[in-house]
Chains A and B, each alone.
Chain A
């Protein structure tokens, strides 16, 4: 994992007074799956556009295999595949035509394009529908074809933007397995809001907010980094009136906790929360808080994400 394929050095992009990406440094290894996470408007798309050579950075540079890339470079495009979040297909072309056309746009000869198209149609189980126009495919089939289109020219680096969105469970498993299967031979940069997807697929996760990289590591490293292993999720009918006092009482039990009220629930994350559960319940009872079901779970990537980026809505 020390073969760096893409290096971002001080990448910065400004739009007037707004700095969309600030001094972004990142090394991406060949063959890894990097989850690229961030709230809406955090700077993910701008970063990806700069990484793929679609957008010129105001400062900094992107180095692909040791060579700084420039906007409009054909060489860069031939090594990059991009799967947008929205289904981007030509409604009146059939599956095979779409793939062959895209392959030829990437410079493949007709015979090679046909071969690559056939291979992907088989891989994504679309071979039976190869002659069907895209507008007549089911939503799941369109999504699979959408992913396949980004791979038709056998790129080194693939940007996948929410690849599992709109997929039924069977298709999701199939696409997920395929992406996992690509790891090692291709570098995958995955942007998603589905933390479970990022957790399951990513070798490493980068979290970006306000245009800056705020965390980078394996999912396990990130979960450990917030210093907690257990999360208590308590269903409440009312929000505690004095959150600070409640937190102090629980900390007096010897638990280092972080309380976060949410819609009808109170999240309690901290060490020793499970061993101190009877005392915590007793404390909650004494404060007069009415509560229902209590669930215990391990810290997830979503907890890390919320911990780092906060609960404030961005849009």
Chain B
């Protein structure tokens, strides 16, 4: 009963502070909106510049064979399941200006077809010895978009040469995309991380709510009542979990409005969000206990927020240095952050359509770490703030 009273009291306080609440709730959906504007929400088309020097091949009967043109047509026909083009091909005539566009990230890759391309293929198809023609790919190897564009173009080129020269392949290579990963837009790739980011933002609300109770003396007043530590922590946690739930749903529906397509069940995402929130509330409690005021709590909370946000892979992938290995599992240093597992699980659900069984490991780790953070928060809170309880 007392737990319910504290839950309702906390909820009332949150609702009656509309500015803080709305900022807290709107932050992640706002980021989703920005990502939606900055990144294409349709399947990504990669920009390929082509410097076509191919002079074609003179065939014995007098006709001409233009393999370069054929290859470029095949590249242009590459399409996603939604029939959108994979490669946007642009013919250029100046290598220097094309390279400058690559540097400016105005294009993803530059393909240079040599003058003797068709002639070489033709000769090879006739079984004659011929000089080797050099096809050149130019691009920024640190750009993931270059790698994808080059791989796609290379696959078409390779396939065409094999067909034209009737060479027998000893092996065939088949690419099978996991889940709906082949059709994901760049925007959709960011959404699972942004939902975890929304939950991570709860650290401000959690730490400031508790710090306010300490600073104003109301926690001490409650200490003189029959309230138990369980009532206070339980009631406050429930109110914060309710906010986390709204954050997750608001972020998800904002993303959906911007053409995000989930492959998995929403309830799984909510479960992942709730477990992550538990660890964030624990961290918030630790921050509150280390703070002397609400403003100090706000400043200190930035540290774990940045840690959870940047090193969990929520915003961009990070290298995770290995700590140790258990069986086939490699445990990295950032695996100690609950949000790391939450991001992986969220990605599996939203992109690969994973079910509960397929995210068992991540959920298990998330649950274990979240409980650890939460219990650490409770322990410190009881030790420093509720000594008599």
Question: Chain A: residues with CB nearer than 8 A to chain B?
Answer: 52-55, 71-72, 74, 77-78, 80-82, 84, 86-93, 97, 101-102, 104-107, 133, 149-150, 153
3 smallest beta-carbon distances between A and B, as pairs: A88-B217, A105-B225, A92-B16
Residues in A whose Cβ lies below 8 Å from that of B222: 105
Bound form: Cα–Cα A93–B221 in Å: 15
Residues in B whose Cβ lies below 8 Å from that of A153: 225
B220 within 8 Å of A (CB atoms): yes
B13 within 8 Å of A (CB atoms): yes
Q: Which of B1-18 contact A (CB under 8 A)?
A: 1-2, 5-6, 9, 12-13, 16-17
Of B2, B223, B227, B388, chain A has the most CB atoms within 10 Å of the CB of B388
- The answer to whether residues A80 and B216 also contact, given A55-B388, A101-B5 and a CB cut-off of 8 A, is no
Residues in A whose Cβ lies below 8 Å from that of B388: 53-55, 71-72
Q: Quote the shortest CB–CB distance from B234 to chain A (angstroms).
A: 14
Bound form: Cα–Cα A97–B8 in Å: 11
Residues in A whose Cβ lies below 8 Å from that of B218: 88-90
Q: Are A149 and B16 in contact (CB under 8 A)?
A: no
Q: Are B12 and A54 in contact (CB under 8 A)?
A: no
0/1 per residue, B1-43, Cβ < 8 Å to A?
1100110010011001100000000000000000000000000
Q: Are B12 and A78 in contact (CB under 8 A)?
A: no
Q: Are A105 and B12 in contact (CB under 8 A)?
A: no
> Could you list 8 A-B pairs, sorted by A, with CB under 8 Å?
A54-B223, A55-B388, A72-B389, A77-B224, A84-B220, A88-B216, A88-B218, A106-B226
Q: Which of B180-235 contact A (CB under 8 A)?
A: 216-218, 220-227
A71's nearest neighbour on chain B, judged by CB, is: B388
Q: Are B12 and A92 in contact (CB under 8 A)?
A: yes
Residues in B whose Cβ lies below 8 Å from that of A89: 216, 218
Q: Are B9 and A90 in contact (CB under 8 A)?
A: yes
Residues in B whose Cβ lies below 8 Å from that of A54: 223-224, 387-388
A86's nearest neighbour on chain B, judged by CB, is: B217
Q: Which of A78, A81, A93, A133 contacts B9 (CB 8 A)?
A: A93
Contacts beyond the supplied A88-B216, A106-B225: 18 A-B pairs with Cβ under 8 Å: A54-B223, A54-B224, A77-B224, A80-B224, A81-B224, A82-B221, A84-B217, A90-B13, A90-B216, A92-B12, A93-B9, A97-B9, A101-B5, A104-B2, A105-B6, A105-B222, A105-B226, A105-B227
Q: Quote the shortest CB–CB distance from A174 to chain B (angstroms).
A: 22
Residues in A whose Cβ lies below 8 Å from that of B6: 105
Residues in A whose Cβ lies below 8 Å from that of B387: 54-55
Residues in B whose Cβ lies below 8 Å from that of A55: 387-388
Q: Quote the shortest CB–CB distance from A143 to chain B (angstroms).
A: 13
Residues in B whose Cβ lies below 8 Å from that of A102: 221, 225
Residues in B whose Cβ lies below 8 Å from that of A101: 5, 9
Q: Quote the shortest CB–CB distance from B2 to chain A (angstroms).
A: 6
Q: Quote the shortest CB–CB distance from A288 to chain B (angstroms).
A: 54
Bound form: Cα–Cα A91–B213 in Å: 10
Q: Which of B221-256 contact A (CB under 8 A)?
A: 221-227
Q: Quote the shortest CB–CB distance from B224 to chain A (angstroms).
A: 4
Residues in A whose Cβ lies below 8 Å from that of B216: 88-91
B231's nearest neighbour on chain A, judged by CB, is: A105
Bound form: Cα–Cα A106–B379 in Å: 24
Residues in B whose Cβ lies below 8 Å from that of A106: 225-226
Of B12, B221, B387, B389, chain A has the most CB atoms within 10 Å of the CB of B221
Bound form: Cα–Cα A222–B2 in Å: 45
A90's nearest neighbour on chain B, judged by CB, is: B218
A104's nearest neighbour on chain B, judged by CB, is: B5
Q: Are A105 and B217 in contact (CB under 8 A)?
A: no
Residues in A whose Cβ lies below 8 Å from that of B2: 104-105, 107
Bound form: Cα–Cα A54–B221 in Å: 11
Residues in B whose Cβ lies below 8 Å from that of A107: 2, 226
Residues in A whose Cβ lies below 8 Å from that of B13: 90, 92-93
Of A72, A86, A90, A107, chain B has the most CB atoms within 10 Å of the CB of A90
Bound form: Cα–Cα A194–B17 in Å: 37
Residues in A whose Cβ lies below 8 Å from that of B224: 52, 54, 77, 80-82, 150
Bound form: Cα–Cα A107–B228 in Å: 11
Bound form: Cα–Cα A8–B131 in Å: 106
Q: Quote the shortest CB–CB distance from A213 to chain B (angstroms).
A: 24
- The answer to whether residues A104 and B1 also contact, given A77-B224, A92-B13, A93-B13 and a CB cut-off of 8 A, is yes
Q: Are B225 and A88 in contact (CB under 8 A)?
A: no
Residues in A whose Cβ lies below 8 Å from that of B227: 105
B227's nearest neighbour on chain A, judged by CB, is: A105
Bound form: Cα–Cα A104–B227 in Å: 9
Q: Quote the shortest CB–CB distance from A134 to chain B (angstroms).
A: 10
Residues in A whose Cβ lies below 8 Å from that of B226: 74, 77-78, 105-107
Bound form: Cα–Cα A97–B13 in Å: 11
Bound form: Cα–Cα A54–B2 in Å: 20
Bound form: Cα–Cα A88–B225 in Å: 14
0/1 per residue, B346-389, Cβ < 8 Å to A?
00000000000000000000000000000000000000000111
Bound form: Cα–Cα A284–B255 in Å: 89
Residues in A whose Cβ lies below 8 Å from that of B217: 84, 86-88
Residues in B whose Cβ lies below 8 Å from that of A150: 224
Bound form: Cα–Cα A57–B371 in Å: 34
Bound form: Cα–Cα A82–B17 in Å: 28
Q: Are B220 and A77 in contact (CB under 8 A)?
A: no
Bound form: Cα–Cα A185–B195 in Å: 58
Q: Are A77 and B221 in contact (CB under 8 A)?
A: no
Bound form: Cα–Cα A81–B225 in Å: 8
Bound form: Cα–Cα A93–B212 in Å: 14
Of B6, B16, B226, B387, chain A has the most CB atoms within 10 Å of the CB of B226
Bound form: Cα–Cα A149–B221 in Å: 9
B14's nearest neighbour on chain A, judged by CB, is: A92
Q: Quote the shortest CB–CB distance from B11 to chain A (angstroms).
A: 11
Bound form: Cα–Cα A31–B116 in Å: 111
Of A53, A87, A88, chain B has the most CB atoms within 10 Å of the CB of A88
Q: Quote the shortest CB–CB distance from B260 to chain A (angstroms).
A: 35
Bound form: Cα–Cα A132–B17 in Å: 15
